Amino acid sequence: MILTVTLNTALDITYRVGALRPHTSHRVSDVAERPGGKGVNVARVLAALGHETTVTGFVGGATGQSVREHLADTRGVRDALLPVAGATRRTVAVVDELTGDTTQLNEPGPQIAPAEWGAFLDHYEELLPAASAVALCGSLPPGVPVGAYAGLTKAARAAGVPVLLDTSGEPLRRGVAARPDLVKPNTDELAELTGSHDPTRATQDARRRGARTVVASLGVQGLLALTPDGRWRAVPPAREHGNPTGAGDSAVAGLLSGLIEQLPWPDRLARAAALSAATVRAQAAGEFDRAAYEELVGRVTVTGDPTAA
């Protein structure tokens, strides 16, 4: 079982409009709702790839109930979310059908009380023994300690469970110092962590700070990985136009599934890059277009230097 942790779960709402213009009203042509938050998106893609997945984190209020109802309909995903007094947040993606651009609005999430955080730590420890890998994903809701991911990483490592960390800012900086097996920042997150805008130099710095492997999302330029087995670059065949929400989460799912299946790095990165591109093509946030994925995965260009570890 792969365990994904989403401390700031969400109900993702996608609106599609003919053209998005400021200061005017819009007629929405389509509305889609999905359970969201980075780790929930990862779990859904992992399940679609055939991996048994459990999601945990916080959930509350009427929005949280909607998240759980949607998860109950998601085959291969087990709900181990922990109820809290506050209400789960909503995220709204507005897709401009004329340009293909997406505007994202993200609520902050519920206030987590100290007792609720303590209950989650106990819950997490109970889930770890059955996990083959853990993904720690996304932002922290108000009230959760900024070093939360560092503590969760240490607990997983103590249990012998590989850890992937996908967050940003101070939670990323502290989490990296706890020595996760893999971190997956985008270019902005990597630059904020290391102070370098050169992805090659920045991935090297992130490894020196504690991460065993660093896979950086470079947007349309694909993925750059610095691993114990060398440096690799994966580039999709063409730039995709659509909704990028969840594209990075799909890449995480590709990397995690490749870890569990013990795939060589070129195959892991090709899968991650293809899933990311296929997510941009999908109609709703946090989904991927399976036909697009199957068409793209064999066309991702992967180059590597095994001596650059």
Residue in 198, 249, 289, 305 annotated catalytic:
249
Residue 249 bears catalytic tag: yes
- Three-point CA angle 156, 186, 47, nearest 5°: 55
Kindly tell me the burial class for residue 8, based on how many C-beta atoms sit within 10 Å of its own C-beta (0-12, 13-18, 19 or more).
buried
Catalogue the active-site residues.
249
